[in-house]
A and B are shown apart, each in its own frame.
Chain A
Amino acid sequence: MLEIPVLRWGKSYESIEKQEVVHFESGETLARVHQANGGLIQMDMRHCWRARNALREIPIRKLIDMAAKAGDLYLNAKLPLGNGTQTPEEFCTMQSATTGLPEHMCANNMKKNFFVLSHMEQILDALTRGLPLEILTNGYGTESRGIMLSYQANSPVLGMVLPSNSPGVHTLWMPVIPMQIGLVLKPGPQEPWTPYRMAEAFFQAGVPREAISIYPGGPDVGAAVISHCERTMIFGGLPTVERYHGNPRVQVHGPGFSKFIFGDDEVDNWEKYLDLMVDSVLINSGRSCISCSGIWASRHGREIADAIARRIGPVAPLPMKDPTAALAAFTVPGQADAISAEIDEGVKLPGVTEVTEKYRNGPRLVKRERCDYLRPTVLHCTSSEHAISKAEYMFPFVTVVDCPQNKMLASMGQTLVCSAITKDPQLSRALLDAPFIDRLNIGPVKTIALNWLQPHEGNIVDFLFRARAFQNSPPPAH
């Protein structure tokens, strides 16, 4: 049996409490993951500066090279995992078996992580706006324009309370080690695989072991990470987002409510963008905050909904190993039932129609012995007043909402990625000025097509470092 211990600043710690990670299809126990208790974290955080100090011993340029090497090892090598080893193929199988994501999607997520790790120099250059990286190490320095700059680390480590259901999010913490900040990871109960594999890849690439801790465990462990790390990134639903809203120590990543919107100038050409919309809804089984969950247009809503439904409605569950499998399984009992029931309630409202039903040849909810599936669902809403028009779920689900252009921005609400199909300068200006839109694409860009050189839900450099004044000589007379 694979035993995966707690990792305390790189050292294995065998806990008395262990949780079995089970294959959702076969019921086979894949590993026993040792569980931390909250006190371990508080105890270890007393030494958190050792992580940053150890990393500062290594120049950032060298850490960037190590990140690239780690990326290669993560993607291609057989790496130690607990008391055993794990090949990339085994990684995909295990991740799929516990998260319900088809194996080819797990493989794609590996490639994403690899891409980020192997392009770290460009990513840091973009995220720091060309800052000489030594400034992050030394705390101050002079940039090419001859101006003194100072950046101070807000925390020697970044805490991460990671989700179980979305392996794609791991790209967010890849730049942390190269910025000489340590990592304190609390994996999602069903997804211990990426944190452990990535940590091992970093170690093998030369990153000091004392730079990374991994604490699997229950809610008390997540709370301890948030409480004892000066900066923490967490993932959760709307209540979590609301709880930590405005807390400068915590960056919350919640539902995205990502959208496509059509300007009146382009909406009559909607068919040209059908592939973009379908991919934005369906890819990665819709299980991402950047997956499209709303398409807003002033006219042709019913036709757009019908065209998308015709394409994605027939998509049905396939075995996890099938390279064409497009649907992820729900491995938490009751979750799919609850979502499906909520949608059924939503479509009872006048003006809300489920368009996929006629193309699906079967129910939305597919129940299996140890998991459930939700088949793609497209709703057409004649008004943005319906609560369901702004819903987001963890499967390919999209609402096509009829909304006049002049009311769109007032109605659309918080939006992580907005892909706007328009050439209208006034609408473009309004979108650029809208503070509730995080990532803005003006033009034919899929919501899921991220450019890693752009910040995501806040710039991680700004989260981890603060710009401040520093002088080591008197300022010019004034």
Chain B
Amino acid sequence: MSTISPALAAKVQQARSQLDAHVCETIAWHFHPSTGCPFWLEKVKTLGFDPIKDIKCFADLQKFPEFEDEWLRGGPVSRWIPQGLKGKPVYVFETGGTTGIPKSRVQIEDFRIDYEMFSHTLPDEHFPKGSNWLMLGPSGPRRLRLAVEHLAQYRGGICFCVDLDPRWVIKLIKRGNIKEMEAYRDHVIDQAVTILSAGHDIKCMFTTPKLLEALAMKLMEQGSSIQQSGITGIFSGGTEFTPQWYRFAMEELLDGVYMTPTYGNTLMGLACGKPFDPADNYKITYYAPQPRAVIEVVDFKDYHRLVEYGQTGRVKLTTLTRETFIPGFMERDEGERELPFEKYPWDGISGTRPFHEIAKATTVGVY
């Protein structure tokens, strides 16, 4: 921490205090019999401590056992709905699910809140208020489509959507059916090109790196470009969004169109990228939407120990909203721990990529 200014250090301290207070509020909500969800009200009996009494700050969350993936699989999903929110319309979103039972998360308003917060980070000159959006990516059981659509609406626009089913793409890749995978990708891109050419005044877009690349190439083939199609701002994300890809896209695909990286998933919400700075040489650093979610970069062998700044570790995610409490979920990604920053005075992460121990078994970047 010696390399940050006293002013930033003060901000970091303030953010930490806010986080600690938010943790206490969240615990009080999720473990009170009148507001908590059945899962935690049952689990508390086996914890060996009383969260409401014993958790006084973020660091105390380490008292919880490691959160197990399996707890999020299967039904009834109602076990995750807090009593305090009972009766409200519920969405269920899934992650993974190529084989076996997917992990799921119930949500009521979280996806809207997350994307409204994200909206405030978007520069209006590139994402003009009132302009229409193209959501080019996975919908189905994922929250992305609804979230991006809400983002468009929140900013006064209408969202056009083109779907891609990543589970089908993964199956095609695993079968080695590359031809059919390419045909499916072309089918998706053709739809996007059609929508962009149909006079809908679309200026903003969410898509994935692979699809953006395919779309840009298709437009170039037709003598057009992303810029000429009217797009002025793009947000994209995932572990495929590497610094090299970022540079390639900026230098060769986008012809001056603004693009911002994001890192997120159904459990966390959306982490924002540090704004583009040529001095960073396309290094991408993400900051979680604290205090609603916290990213820690922890030692591969000891998930309770943060690695030093600049060192590599596995991503540990904590979700702290009224709808969901997930302490210490070990993500499938790894990266380098980054220093806090003026706009986001808490730890960031750069170089996100699939966790090396499971990377070989994981099919990434399919969409």
Contacts and interface: CB of A to CB of B under 8 A. Distances in A.
Interface in B207-258: 213, 217, 220, 242-245, 247-249, 252-253
Nearest to B217: A42
B365 interface: yes
Contacts of B249: 39
B194 to A, nearest CB: 21
B244 A15 contact: yes
A40 B248 contact: yes
B89 interface: no
A344 interface: no
A227 interface: yes
B282 interface: yes
Nearest to B182: A227
A353 B365 CA distance: 47
Main SS of the interface on chain A?
A: helix
Contact of B245 (A39, A223, A243): A39
B178 interface: yes
B176 A46 contact: no
Interface in A18-55: 35, 37-40, 42-43, 46
B244 A16 contact: yes
B248 A39 contact: yes
A136 to B, nearest CB: 29
B213 A42 contact: yes
A37 B248 contact: yes
A342 interface: no
Interface string A193-228: 000000000000000000000000000100100110
Interface residues of A, number: 18
Interface string B67-95: 00000000000000000000000000000
A16 B281 contact: yes
Contact of B243 (A17, A46, A223): A17
B365 A220 contact: yes
A16 B213 contact: no
Size class of the contact patch on chain B? 10 to 19
A206 B276 CA distance: 42
Interface in B169-209: 176, 178, 182
B350 to A, nearest CB: 12
Contacts of A242: 176
Contacts of A16: 242-244, 247, 281-282
A85 to B, nearest CB: 27
B244 A37 contact: yes
A38 B209 CA distance: 11
Contacts of B178: 223, 226-227
Contacts of B220: 46
Interface in B273-288: 281-282
Contacts of B252: 39-40, 43
Interface of B: 176, 178, 182, 213, 217, 220, 242-245, 247-249, 252-253, 281-282, 365
16 contacts: A16-B243, A16-B244, A17-B243, A17-B244, A37-B242, A37-B244, A39-B249, A42-B217, A43-B217, A43-B248, A226-B178, A227-B178, A227-B182, A239-B176, A242-B176, A243-B176
Given A16-B242, A39-B217, 8 more contacts: A16-B247, A16-B281, A17-B244, A35-B244, A40-B248, A40-B252, A43-B217, A43-B253
